Amino acid sequence: MQPQNKNRSAVKTVLRVTLWVAVALTLLFAAAVVVMHFIEWRQYADTIAEVVKEQTGRRLEIGGPVKVGFFPARVLIDDVTFANAPGGSSDVMVKVKRIGARFKLADLIRGKLALSIALSEPDVLLETVASGEKNWSLSIEVPAVLAFAQLSVTGGQVVFREHPSGNAWRLEVAKLMIRERLTGGYAGLLEANLNDIPVKLDGAVRPAEEIAGKKETLSIDGQADISGAKFKFEGLASKDTEGSIVKGNIRADIKDLQVLGKLFQASLPDLPPVTIAANIAASGRLISVDDFNAVLGKSSFTGNITADFEAKQPKINGTVSAKFIDIAELTGSKKKAVEKVKVSGAKGRLISTQSLAIPPLDMADIKLTLSVEKLQAARNLTIQNLQTKVVLADGRLALKPLKMHIAGTDINLEGNANGLGRANVKFSARLNAAGIDLGGLLNAVSGKEDLKGGLTEVVADLQASGRSPAKLASTLKGHVRVSVGPGQVYNRNLDDLLGDVFADVINTIDPFYTKENKSELKCLVINVPIKNGIVLIDDTVALETNKVGVSLAGFVKINTEKIDLLARPMAKKGGGIGADLLSDLVRIRGTLANPQTEIDPAGVAKTTVLRGIDVATFGLTALYRGQTSKLSADQMCAEALRTRNAPPTGKGKKK
């Protein structure tokens, strides 16, 4: 046989063998597929459940069929439930209608299995159970050969329930897709409703250069649209043996803040559009916000804030400053009609008995330094150079102190509130201001001209406790001294300026008073002690005009709103009022809401007006002395300024 024929015969033999091997392998694979198709994979459900039980300590149940396919390679499992942690609000933590997992057969050869997971209508409950355990805290070891190429979710929901408040957040998922990027990292998209508010998230995580030597550094870019409120974050995240660190820049553009209030189950004011930009850094439980900038309509803020959540009591420190703040815009008062409060009926109250909505501010320790260059408090009222340091610790709030420039003078206010978030709240305040342009201040607040001039000094030291205005009034104690200097009063607005009591007295002794255009105010003095909600007046409230002098004595029970006062008017020489018209006392009694004024020609009231008051509490030695006083109409303010009724000092009572 020729060599050439021998070679051809060998080639044919190799081809026949190869063909038969290929046919055999094909038949074997086909047989395997057929056999695999007829295997009842459901019988392995208990084995899968046992493995999960060993890993998590919780029960896994597969209620539907288990299917395995090869073109493409996939596993389908129906009706899967996973048990909740002991003490949870439900026995089930996760329930899924169908779980699908796809993979490439070639991955089995490479020894790295990249899974594409698809969840259909998952129902997930996340909560902190009564023991304090987070039900999602599971110790699961994922085999090194497993990797995730994609996760997709259609339909379903995730509910987060907070313990012990019971507040719940419900995320209804329309679409969730997380996929591996060809260039490394992952990209994700979420379209859902969170507490019935549309939410869309879109972001990517990819490898990046290391941050200061830290390992596993990732670059993060993300955007969020929450019912029109847009957020954007760009930054880096890394992890090492000391923990994780995140650095980046965040920006927010919020058109309607109330939408976010609904999302977080909180009532937020109707603010103008908000724009926020800041650099943030988080390392472990320490968060810092630097170069913070916020614009709310015309108002703007800058600052730096750090928050430390390592301790049981979070600690927040920072500085916040503002060039301009428009209070009316931030409170929404520009959109609301201002209505004068009306009290109807003799039983009407001015002081509410409803509890104040005092937030539980004992949840964190806060130290903030605040400064505002210009604060528009009202249309014509501007406060300048406002500065204060706010300190909140163990439920105690302190202003140390609050300084501002208003109405031509500097005002200092120190305040404390102790027991915030508890059953009983204690308040204290000290106010010191001199040289206030009272006329300019009142005109700016009211928008009309009540007074021109009237330089004023105010000194107050007050304390109270309670959770409602009425309770605070019943415990109020301290001392108030107000001294108003010369000015011109526009009589048409007498009630607004002096209040009902003085206005009623003046109108009683001179019915034609308000028919005149204006009067000359000489002085107004209020110099009174307060204890247990009672203001005792002993010639320590006085008013002098160019026509009359009026001195008051009696009491005001702020807690019950009852008043009983005697006014002693005296005519001034050349004032145009006859002395015979002012020979009688004027009695004012009733309530703050409905004071009643009457002439007391017999002077009977002088012996009864102080009955029922523990005058010894205030260190007084006599009852009302108005009828026997030899003071003239020009001496009433000077007499009122003498601090006869100073508040108790704790060193004993006057004798």
Per-residue pLDDT of 172-182, as tens digits, reads 999 999 998 88
Tell me how far apart the alpha carbons of residues 320 and 372 are, in angstroms, rounded to a whole number.
9
- Cβ atoms within 10 Å of 146's Cβ, excluding its own: 11
Q: What are the tokens at 413?
A: 């206010």
pLDDT of residue 526: 92
pLDDT-wise least confident of 24-38, 125-139, 166-180, 552-566: 24-38
Instruction: Check whether 38 has a pLDDT greater than 70.
Output: no
H/E run at residue 561: none
Q: Has residue 368 been placed in a domain?
A: yes
160 and 38 in a common domain: yes
Residue that has been written with the tokens 């209505």 in this structure: 339
pLDDT-wise least confident of 111-125, 127-141, 380-394: 127-141
Residue 16's SS3 state is helix
pLDDT band, residue 309 (cuts 50/70/90): confident
* Tens-place pLDDT, residues 404-428: 998 788 888 888 888 766 667 888 9
162 and 45 in a common domain: yes
465 and 330 in a common domain: no
pLDDT band, residue 628 (cuts 50/70/90): very low
Q: Has residue 194 been placed in a domain?
A: no
pLDDT band, residue 9 (cuts 50/70/90): low
Q: Has residue 17 been placed in a domain?
A: no
Cα angle, residue 11 at apex, residues 8 and 12 outer, rounded to 5°:
85
Q: Has residue 203 been placed in a domain?
A: no
pLDDT-wise least confident of 197-201, 266-270, 374-378: 266-270
Name the domain count of the chain.
Answer: 4
pLDDT of residue 209: 63
pLDDT of residue 416: 86
217 and 165 in a common domain: no
> Mean of the pLDDT values across residues 53-75?
83
Range of the domain at 323: 209-336
Buried-state track 49-68, b at ≥16 Cβ within 10 A, e below 16? beebeeeeebebebeeebee
Domain end point (choices 475, 510, 544): 475
Among residues 638, 451, 449, 455, the alpha carbon closest in space to that of 544 is found at 638
Tell me how far apart the alpha carbons of residues 183 and 121 are, in angstroms, rounded to a whole number.
31
Tell me how far apart the alpha carbons of residues 57 and 84 are, in angstroms, rounded to a whole number.
10
pLDDT of residue 256: 83
445 and 398 in a common domain: yes
Full DSSP string of 493-529: GHHHHHHHHHHHHHHHH-TTGGGSSEEEEEEEEEEEE
Q: What are the tokens at 2?
A: 């020729």
Higher-scoring residue by pLDDT: 92, 342: 92
Percent above pLDDT 70 for the chain? 72
What contacts 575, CB < 8 A, 6 or more positions away?
A: 545, 546, 547, 548
93 and 176 in a common domain: yes
156 and 33 in a common domain: yes
Higher-scoring residue by pLDDT: 581, 226: 226
Tell me how far apart the alpha carbons of residues 271 and 331 are, in angstroms, rounded to a whole number.
7
Q: Has residue 188 been placed in a domain?
A: no
Domain end point (choices 441, 475, 509): 475
171 and 32 in a common domain: yes
170 and 34 in a common domain: yes
Higher-scoring residue by pLDDT: 360, 30: 360
* Tens-place pLDDT, residues 92-118: 999 999 999 888 766 666 667 788 899
Tell me how far apart the alpha carbons of residues 506 and 514 are, in angstroms, rounded to a whole number.
9
Instruction: Check whether 265 has a pLDDT greater than 90.
Output: no
Q: What are the tokens at 574?
A: 């050349």
330 and 245 in a common domain: yes
460 and 543 in a common domain: no
Extended strands (E) in 438-571: 451-453, 455-465, 477-484, 487-490, 518-531, 534-545, 548-557, 562-571
Residue 135 CA to chain centroid, in angstroms? 29
Domain end point (choices 180, 201, 228): 180
pLDDT of residue 200: 95
pLDDT band, residue 22 (cuts 50/70/90): low
